[in-house]
Structure 1
Amino acid sequence: MTDESVRELLAANLRHARTRRNLSLSELSRLSKIGKATLSQLEAGAGNPTIETVFSLSRALEVPISDLLDQRRGNGLTVVRAAEVEALSGEGVDLHPLRSIVTGDTVFEVYDQVVRSRQDSLGHLGTEHTIVQAGRLGVRVDGREVELGPGDYVGFDALLPHGYTALDGPVRSVLLLQYRSDQRLHSTPGCSAGS
């Protein structure tokens, strides 16, 4: 990201989301299963947020992931250069946030995703859509498993426990997260956030 780092964006948006829900750091710690000291560091713009941390906060605060990482941009032509996007990394996945799109009552977040090994999620808000570009991807959703190759698609309720596994080395994919616009932290009807 060019003007603000992931840490700075997360700090401001986390404080906003927590106060909007009238939660103390202790209450958010209990809901997210993230230590109070870690949350305090994140709100101060310190620490090193991982995918797992952001997903846990999204689930606990009941907001889309992009609301915790959103950087407002003007309207018009949008070009996102891979080299300028700070990756959000987890145990086995690197996510590069590319864009949030609001259309009517639906929000889509677009990510460039690289699955390096195995990544598990307890679940989070929204519907998850993944399109494999290169490699073989194992997908687990609530106990069911499927294998995807280049060009294959999977979609599921992201509240269900799920995970991805790179079966033969790193997998490139496009991840789309879909939400209702009334679930957004920064509700602005008719605008295109991140555009």
Structure 2
Amino acid sequence: MGGPGESVRDVLAANLRRARIERGLSLSELSRRSKIGKATLSQLEAGAGNPTIETVFSLSRALEVPISDLLDRQLPFGPTVVRGAEVEVLRGAAVDLRPLHGIEVDGAIVEVYDQRVRPGARQDSLGHVGIEHTVVQAGRLGVRVGDQEVELGPGDYIGFDALRPHGYVALDGPVRSVLLLQYGSDQRLRHADPHAPGPGGNG
């Protein structure tokens, strides 16, 4: 997600504007839905600011689109190799996410993330589109979904509807896990030819 010379903010800037326009939303309306200030949204669309996990998930929820529709660039043909150490980290209150790849089948998509949960804080989400899957690799992870709480250890899995409020907390030291976000084809934005003229213009 993002290519050579492209930062998360560069890719987000282009995709956020495209998603907002495709949804027919003004900056003011998107600000109302996402609870993100209009000035901040304007900065994000200009490629400025410092997007966090909370910001990107709020935009995903408000626009009703997958995270990858906001963070992906078009991938080239051929084998795709992603070096985790070279991926820009998206940081939140307690989680570091490294977006690795999006697997698309018949318009549906599964996003793959390296997820690391830092101890000492909780990562909460009000909910967003998609089905969330987490597989713990190392450490003990506390997961809250609605009013239910479970503890997971290495090799354990949890899946749930991500529209429900949920949160993660590292219980006794850092946690490494794989996060998968699954979206149906009806939750994707239309992906038009990026070289085609835009509405009412010549590209």
Same fold flag (TM > 0.5): yes
* Correspondences of 1:53-72 after superposition (within 5 Å): 53-72=55-74
Could you tell me how far apart the structure 2 residues matched to 1:136 and 1:39 are?
36
When structure 1 is superposed on structure 2, of 44-53 and 68-77 the one drifting more is: 68-77
User: What TM-score results when the alignment is normalised by the length of structure 2?
Assistant: 0.90
RMSD (Å), alpha carbons: 1.1
Of structures 1 and 2, the one scoring higher in RCO (CA 8 A, sep 6+) is: 1
Could you tell me how far apart the structure 1 residues matched to 2:163 and 2:191 are?
21
- In the alignment, is the contact (CA less than 8 A) between 1:67 and 1:186 conserved in 2? no
User: What TM-score results when the alignment is normalised by the length of structure 1?
Assistant: 0.93
- In the alignment, is the contact (CA less than 8 A) between 1:93 and 1:114 conserved in 2? yes
Matched, 1:169 2:156: no
When structure 1 is superposed on structure 2, of 154-163 and 98-107 the one drifting more is: 98-107
Q: Which consecutive unaligned segments of at least 5 residues does structure 1 have?
A: 189-195
Q: Which consecutive unaligned segments of at least 5 residues does structure 2 have?
A: 193-203
Could you tell me how far apart the structure 2 residues matched to 1:136 and 1:150 are?
7
Could you tell me how far apart the structure 1 residues matched to 2:137 and 2:40 are?
35
How many matched pairs?
188
Computing the radius of gyration from Cα coordinates, the structure with the larger value is 2
Return structure 1 stretches of 4+ with deviation > 4 angstroms. Answer: none
Counterpart of 2:198 in structure 1 is none
Percent sequence identity is 76
What does the per-residue CA deviation read over 1:19-48, in whole Å, with 9 as the maximum and x for residues that have no partner?
111111100000000000100100000000
CA 8–176 in structure 1, closer or farther in 2 if over 3 Å, else same: same
Q: Partner amino acid for 2:97?
A: L
Could you tell me how far apart the structure 2 residues matched to 1:180 and 1:3 are?
30
